Structure 1
């Protein structure tokens, strides 16, 4: 059906807007320093029902229809509570890993790198075009969840779906090891890996907190004179711990993984920062200088609470002249492309793997 023609009021409105735009001086690319404090009133939205889209696989529809996680809004009251939450996250994931390892036809070997625990993960049948290349992985979990092998699931998917050997770093986390412990471990591992391997054959990837830590690691590596990887893949990076992006509000209670920053996520940011300014670029690397970064592919979803973190990081990279691709997956909440039971996961990792392969030397 053809849309109705605009009436006189709409035509007048467009003329006023166009005239104002033509009269205004050219806009410079926005920077954080230029961004004005918000002065406009917020928008009130009516209550609504949000249907499950038919534009995704049946498996993903099932995930979209799932209720919020039971304890998304439970904030541990003390250190013991955070430790219990951390242990529970590992206990939930660990029993699933043997089946995943077998289904993906990979090997998972505990190891250490520069004194940091890690997992060496490799396909049982290495693809010839992925030989001699290594991806270093930094796991997600709000800087507090998924210790041990439970944090290596994303690297298992990368090895199984995209065919790369991966080294997953089991960095230290709060409540016992707040910032900068995770960054210190990531840098120590990266320093050791680059001493043993040609950086032109190395990639760096991770999602959520792992994506934010990835970007912070590159900022610090550059400051310390360490070589960058050939390419990076920050998935839905938590690169703004202050929560100033649009989707933190626009997708609140739409995302059925993180749900809202008012739950444990916001508390985890404060726990990790340990009193440091949340806008510090080593905590929120979207505020840092991303010039000179390697080619990047960033992944998010239309319902992701951190969609704006991903979009803003992508724009900062592009403005800095960095080659950067952005894939936004239909209907997905935070990091649901890490769910191996949905077909979109293989599609996402194939896309990421092919991008990385284009830039990693042979």
Structure 2
């Protein structure tokens, strides 16, 4: 015969349990930080040789520079662009993509066209916003991700060469991206369009949707924000757990933090335009996010994923084994890179034109 529990006793147990949970929550908040002993972290054994080389590379040599003005950032950006620009021709050749400089309503941009566009993609158009902490990768240096998407996915892509310090500060990059988006929606049906970008470009991708919602503009059919700088206030577990493990960003107090602050130019960093994770994501289009297990912005990425799911948005998350920030846009010959962009293309194909 089942045991009957008196309602008052049950209530007492329930109250005790609630009290225990409350005490546990307070205790967790007040608990001292976990002390982790020093350890060596090897390159994973189940990655490709190309990705293994990227993962095993030393920490970025200039991760701890701290330019405080756009003028101080300019030579850094130019040096990086010169080095990266030398790699672009090879990428274009290997992936059979053509690139053309253009201007769209006064905004600098590039149009990337794959040698072969399958019938299902002929009416589709993607808009790309590059990364670089809002201060790096001007001109062709911002093209690798767009080249990979055009080549592996065989989509036509418009890449926005948005203004950065010292030329302009917030909201210049956002304004330029939105100018191109408005124009692009007149070139193709928004139901056949998507927006994508990595790092600052991932944050801009999210911010563009927030602004399109605010301004009553058409939304893309899908978006792909990669390892987005979704919280420039540096909230998130991986800012601690992956510090000095991510060999690109390295530290939450490194170069990228300074770059974002220079671009913000005193604007509130918690504004959803600069930290989109704090924006209203109800009504967002289907989203595919990409990050890595060593990414300093892993938490930035998973927090966006959770925010989207809580808002009822279809959201897909792919995580690269051992990868630091944006490793998937470093080498087009790495199988992991191909898989990332083929996965994004698969996701876009599910939603564009539907």
Taking structure 1 as the reference length, what is the TM-score of the superposition?
0.89
Residue 56 of structure 2: aligned partner: 65
1:184 Cα deviation after fit: 0.6
Contact 2:69-2:166 at 8 Å conserved across structures: no
Q: Does 1:155 align with 2:149?
A: no
1:332 Cα deviation after fit: 0.6
- Distance in 2 of aligned mates of 1:38 and 1:155: 43
1:152 Cα deviation after fit: 1.5
- Distance in 2 of aligned mates of 1:78 and 1:312: 30
1:79 Cα deviation after fit: 3.7
Higher alpha-carbon deviation: 164-173 or 175-184: 175-184
Higher alpha-carbon deviation: 287-296 or 167-176: 167-176
SS for the counterpart of 1:159 is helix
Residue 169 of structure 2: aligned partner: 178
Residue 333 of structure 2: aligned partner: 341
Distance change >3 Å, CA 36–CA 132, structure 1 → 2: farther
Distance change >3 Å, CA 77–CA 157, structure 1 → 2: same
SS for the counterpart of 1:24 is helix
Residue 9 of structure 2: aligned partner: none
Distance change >3 Å, CA 335–CA 293, structure 1 → 2: same
CA offsets, 1:272-318, max 9 Å, x none? 11111111111100001010000000000001000001100000000
- Which of residues 107, 112, 119 is equivalent to 2:103? 112
SS for the counterpart of 1:347 is helix
Distance change >3 Å, CA 151–CA 58, structure 1 → 2: same
Residue 249 of structure 1: aligned partner: 240
Contact 2:88-2:143 at 8 Å conserved across structures: no
1:91 Cα deviation after fit: 0.6
Distance change >3 Å, CA 219–CA 37, structure 1 → 2: farther
SS for the counterpart of 2:86 is helix
Residue 295 of structure 1: aligned partner: 286
CA offsets, 1:156-210, max 9 Å, x none? 0001111111000001112331110001111111111112321101100001000
1:271 Cα deviation after fit: 0.8
Distance change >3 Å, CA 24–CA 82, structure 1 → 2: same
1:47 Cα deviation after fit: 1.0
Q: Does 1:52 align with 2:46?
A: no
Taking structure 2 as the reference length, what is the TM-score of the superposition?
0.91
Residue 71 of structure 2: aligned partner: 80
- Distance in 2 of aligned mates of 1:228 and 1:22: 49
1:265 Cα deviation after fit: 1.2
Residue 201 of structure 2: aligned partner: 210
- Structure 2, gaps ≥5 residues long: 1-12
Q: How many residues align?
A: 337
- Distance in 1 of aligned mates of 2:175 and 2:317: 28
- Which of residues 137, 140, 161 is equivalent to 1:146? 137
Higher alpha-carbon deviation: 84-93 or 40-49: 40-49
SS for the counterpart of 1:117 is strand
- Which of residues 11, 32, 48 is equivalent to 1:41? 32
